[in-house]
C-alpha cells in the first residue's frame, strides 16, 4: 500500500516498487481514513506511509496501521529529513524512512531492503540523539471513529460541533471520549489532546 496524497510522489514510489517487485499488487490511497479502510479488508507485505496526510499529521497514522497490520513492514515517507524525526519513526515501529528528496535509485534500494526484511533508514539517522528514548504512544489503540473525534477536538471543536461535522449524535461523541480517555490512560480532554499532539511533526 502507498498512502500519499501527492500524486507525483505516489507515482515515484509505485515505479520504484515495480522495479523491485515487477507485477506487485499496489494499492494507492490519499488519506489515513482510506488506508485504514483498506487495511481492515486485506493484508499487506509493505506499507509506504506519508508522514503528513490531509487527515493526520505525525505518527498517529503509523500507530493505527501497525495495530491493523502487525505483520506488515511499514516505512515512513516524508519531506522532513531531520534525524530526530527518523529516530522517532524507528521508535514508533517503522522499519524504514524514505525522504521525498531521495533520488529514484535510493527509493528502489530502500524498498528492496524492506521487502527483504532489512530495515532501511538514511545514514544521518545515526547522529547522536539528545532527546533520549520516547515511550510509544497509545494513540494506535483508538478506533478510526475515536481518532476522528479526538482530531476534531484538537482542532478546537466542541462536542456539538464534532457531532455535526462527523454526522453522529452528541451522546456518541461523549461515549467516544470516555473510551478515548480509558485507552489513553488520561482523565480529561486536554490530556488526550496533548497525547495526540505529542505525535505531530512540524512540516
- CATH code 1.10.10.10 region(s) in the chain: 139-197
CB 107 within 8 A of CB 12: yes
The gap between the terminal CA atoms of the chain, to the nearest Å, is 23
CATH class of 139-197: mainly alpha
Domain 2-126: CATH superfamily, name plus number: Response regulator (3.40.50.2300)
pLDDT reported for residue 31: 93
Report DSSP state, residue 50. Answer: E
- CATH code 3.40.50.2300 region(s) in the chain: 2-126
CA dihedral sign of residues 70, 197, 81, 124: negative
pLDDT reported for residue 199: 76
| SS3 category, 63 | helix
Which residue ranges of the chain lie beneath pLDDT 70? 126-137, 201-203
pTM: 0.70
pLDDT reported for residue 34: 94
Amino acid at each position: 500500500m502507498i498512502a500519499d496524497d501527492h500524486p507525483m510522489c505516489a507515482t515515484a514510489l509505485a515505479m520504484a516498487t515495480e522495479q523491485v517487485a515487477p507485477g506487485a499488487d499496489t494499492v494507492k490511497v490519499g488519506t489515513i481514513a482510506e488506508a485504514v479502510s483498506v487495511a481492515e479488508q486485506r493484508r499487506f507485505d509493505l506499507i509506504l506511509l506519508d508522514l503528513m496526510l490531509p487527515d493526520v499529521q505525525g505518527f498517529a497514522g503509523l500507530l493505527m496501521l501497525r495495530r491493523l497490520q502487525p505483520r506488515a513492514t511499514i516505512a515512513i515517507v516524508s519531506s522532513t529529513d531531520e534525524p530526530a524525526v527518523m529516530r522517532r519513526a524507528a521508535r514508533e515501529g517503522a522499519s524504514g524512512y524514505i525522504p521525498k528528496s531521495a533520488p529514484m535509485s535510493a527509493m528502489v534500494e530502500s524498498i528492496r531492503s524492506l521487502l527483504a526484511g532489512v530495515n532501511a533508514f538514511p545514514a544521518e539517522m545515526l547522529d547522536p540523539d539528545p532527546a533520549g528514548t520516547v515511550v510509544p504512544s497509545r494513540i494506535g489503540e483508538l478506533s478510526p471513529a475515536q481518532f476522528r473525534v479526538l482530531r476534531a477536538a484538537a482542532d478546537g471543536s466542541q462536542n456539538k460541533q464534532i457531532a455535526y461535522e462527523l454526522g453522529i449524535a452528541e451522546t456518541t461523541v461523549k461515549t467516544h471520549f470516555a473510551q478515548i480517555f480509558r485507552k489513553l490512560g488520561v482523565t480529561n480532554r486536554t490530556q488526550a489532546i496533548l497525547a495526540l499532539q505529542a505525535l505531530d511533526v512540524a512540516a
